Structure 1
């Protein structure tokens, strides 16, 4: 007679705590997302704060969500500091790289806008050449 194991009631204790952690992280992420969407709708309806301030809030909340995702779902929250820095420092360089490209692209766009057809050209006055007779 073959002996079979039933999964009922015999789950390890760490499964219960990891499930609770996942649900806790889910609710935190959901709460932050609902808050962001609410701010966006309020801004569209009432325009209650400057756009730059709202974008700053969105960036901070997005970084908070990224922290929770990386810490819990990628399990970096429980790793040693050196491993975390090995992942975060190249990421910061990548963010800097994106900002640098956006800034450079914007300057090229402004230069191109200055050269559109119909854009008035500033005339440079050139001193007449002296004649040597």
Structure 2
């Protein structure tokens, strides 16, 4: 009797582990296809812009940034398993991440304004020859 219970338990555990493995593999393939589609959209947009010049650069950059953030958040949700966590843990990770992205954007913008300002001052500098 005990041997039959152990055999039944082992068979049940094998079935459950096989089912869990299949669902994990299916989820990984779903993530792969979603990320592939988003990447192909980015490549198609870049190719269209390269050959036609459309859409305008600012719109293209906004679209690229948006698609990149979608991919980043999807990867974080799936592979760091944040999708299945409690709300407070998700917020404790995502808020600093968003602040970090904002800091990078602010520093790049500020650095670009310094570069433009410096170039403007250099071109306005008047070249004077020494007195005879």
Structure 2 length-normalised TM: 0.77
Name stretches of at least 5 consecutive residues in structure 2 with no aligned partner: 1-13, 127-132
The CA RMSD measured in Å over matched residues stands at 1.9
- 2:48 aligned with 1:29: no
The whole-number CA distance in structure 2 between the counterparts of 1:36 and 1:107 is: 28
Per the TM alignment, residue 120 of structure 1 is displaced from its structure 2 partner at its CA by 3.3
Per the TM alignment, residue 98 of structure 1 is displaced from its structure 2 partner at its CA by 0.7
* Counterpart mapping for 1:48-59 below 5 A: 48-59=54-65
Name stretches of at least 5 consecutive residues in structure 1 with no aligned partner: 1-7, 123-133
* Counterpart mapping for 1:114-133 below 5 A: 114-116=120-122, 119-121=123-125
The whole-number CA distance in structure 2 between the counterparts of 1:87 and 1:72 is: 14
Per the TM alignment, residue 10 of structure 1 is displaced from its structure 2 partner at its CA by 7.8
Look up the match of 1:106.
112
Per the TM alignment, residue 99 of structure 1 is displaced from its structure 2 partner at its CA by 1.5
Task: Answer 1 or 2: higher relative contact order, Cα 8 Å, separation at least 6.
Answer: 1
Structure 1 length-normalised TM: 0.77
* Counterpart mapping for 1:66-85 below 5 A: 66-85=72-91
Per the TM alignment, residue 73 of structure 1 is displaced from its structure 2 partner at its CA by 1.0
The whole-number CA distance in structure 1 between the counterparts of 2:56 and 2:16 is: 55
Q: Which has the higher helix share?
A: 2
Q: What CA deviation, in whole Å up to 9, does each residue of 1:82-126 have, x standing for no partner? A: 00000011111111111121122112112211232xx3359xxxx
Look up the match of 1:91.
97
The whole-number CA distance in structure 2 between the counterparts of 1:112 and 1:10 is: 66
